[in-house]
């Protein structure tokens, strides 16, 4: 038997002192405590520094370079971690007592494991459960290139419930800094060719949602640019590393996500707001043949994404399946 794996948790934070203490406490009350907790405070102006000082000896505080963006801070935070396996954990989320134990158990299942993921619950501002999320569509073990293909339309893991093998992450290129807002999705895609993805079918965290405003409205420009970076930079490189010669799935996924974004924007933005939003999509539209849909959007129409009967059925059944599965797990 080899030596026990070590586990590090990095917490990038900025002005979330109202949550940070509870987040730290949740990580200190583990069935298998993390080997280190590193808090990266990006020049917070609230009492974040006081909270970090309160837990001195149990956590280590660091400061990223002044002026770095979100991706830069997250990359810096990862660079400070020394464990065999590492995770980033948001400073407003909560770890269940089994968080570290479950992720390390998954890490030990296979020598070629590079990512472990698990279930989570979305929680509101007060910590009440909004929804329970198991990854019902993924296998216990996903090998390359299957683990790459399953990520084509979005990340099949929660930022609150994952861990990565640190050396594999470094070989894959580390945390992506070209992204303006995306981080976990490109990181998972980069990792896919380097080994297996493990799924542990337990709830291990609470992911706080709905307390920081309408992200779609605030970040649509960044998200649209990052989506294109995903399909035209990250995915082609990952496919090449995985030895995949057929790249048609990338074009198909790019068009599907373009339509999904335009449809969402047509529901979110009023016709009089469209003139400012439409140019964000022009390059993407040209790449996927989406000019007709973009023109309809700019003219104030509601754009609908074609949905098959199978897709419609899955959407209707998914919350029912999650609820039923959650009750069965508790029984």
Kindly list the domain boundaries of the chain, sorted by start residue.
7-208, 215-298
68 contact partners, CB below 8 Å, separation of at least 6: 42, 76
pLDDT in tens, 241-297: 999 999 999 999 999 999 999 999 999 999 999 999 999 999 999 999 999 999 999
Distance CA 157, CA 163 (A): 10
DSSP string for 149-197: HTTTTS-SS-TTSEEEEHHHHHHHTSS--S-SS--HHHHHHHHGGGSEE
Distance CA 161, CA 93 (A): 10
Question: In this prediction, what percent of the chain has a pLDDT beyond 90?
Answer: 80
Q: How far is CA 287 from the centre of its chain?
A: 25
- pLDDT for 69 equals 80
Please report, for residues 4, 116, 197, the alpha-carbon distance to residue 13 in angstroms, rounded to integers and kept in the order given.
29, 23, 27
Contact 213, 104 (CB under 8 A): no
Q: What is the C-alpha end-to-end distance of the chain, expressed in Å?
A: 35
Distance CA 147, CA 158 (A): 15
Mean pLDDT score across all residues of the chain: 92
Question: In this prediction, what percent of the chain has a pLDDT beyond 70?
Answer: 92
Residue 166 has pLDDT above 80, yes or no: yes
Torsion of the alpha carbons at 46, 49, 52 and 53, rounded to the nearest 10: -130
Residue 331 has pLDDT above 60, yes or no: no
Classify 7-208 by CATH class.
alpha beta
* pTM of the shown model: 0.90
Torsion of the alpha carbons at 75, 76, 81 and 82, rounded to the nearest 10: 90
- pLDDT for 310 equals 47
Contact 186, 234 (CB under 8 A): yes
Distance CA 138, CA 115 (A): 13
Segment 296-324 mean pLDDT:
69
């Amino acid at each position: 038997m080899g030596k026990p794996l070590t586990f590090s948790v990095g917490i990038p934070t900025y002005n979330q002192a109202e949550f940070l203490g509870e987040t730290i406490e949740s990580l200190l009350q583990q069935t298998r405590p993390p080997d280190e907790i590193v808090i990266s405070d990006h020049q917070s102006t609230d009492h974040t520094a006081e909270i970090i000082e309160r837990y001195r000896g149990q956590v280590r505080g660091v400061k990223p370079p002044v002026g770095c963006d979100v991706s830069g801070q997250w990359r810096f935070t990862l660079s400070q971690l020394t464990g065999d396996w590492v995770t980033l954990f948001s400073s407003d989320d909560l770890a269940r007592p089994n968080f570290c134990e479950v992720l390390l158990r998954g890490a030990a299942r296979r020598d070629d494991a590079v990512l472990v993921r698990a279930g989570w619950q979305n929680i509101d501002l007060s910590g009440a459960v909004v929804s329970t999320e198991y990854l019902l569509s993924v296998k216990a073990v996903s090998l390359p290139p299957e683990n790459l293909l399953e990520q084509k339309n979005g990340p099949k893991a929660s930022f609150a419930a994952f861990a990565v093998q640190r050396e594999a992450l470094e070989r894959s290129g580390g945390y992506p800094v070209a992204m303006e807002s995306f981080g976990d999705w490109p990181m998972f895609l980069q990792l896919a060719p380097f080994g297996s993805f493990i799924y542990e079918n337990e709830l291990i965290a609470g992911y706080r949602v709905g307390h920081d405003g309408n992200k779609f409205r605030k970040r649509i420009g960044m998200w649209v640019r990052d989506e294109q970076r995903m399909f035209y930079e990250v995915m082609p490189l990952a496919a090449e590393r995985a030895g995949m010669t057929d790249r048609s799935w990338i074009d198909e996924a790019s068009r599907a996500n373009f339509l999904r974004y335009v449809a969402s924007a047509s529901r979110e933005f009023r016709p009089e707001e469209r003139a400012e939003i439409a140019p964000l999509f022009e390059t993407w539209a040209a790449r996927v043949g989406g000019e007709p849909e973009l023109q309809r959007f700019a003219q104030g129409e509601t754009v609908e994404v074609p949905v098959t009967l199978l897709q419609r059925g899955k959407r209707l059944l998914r919350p029912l399946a999650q609820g039923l599965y959650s009750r069965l797990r508790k029984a």
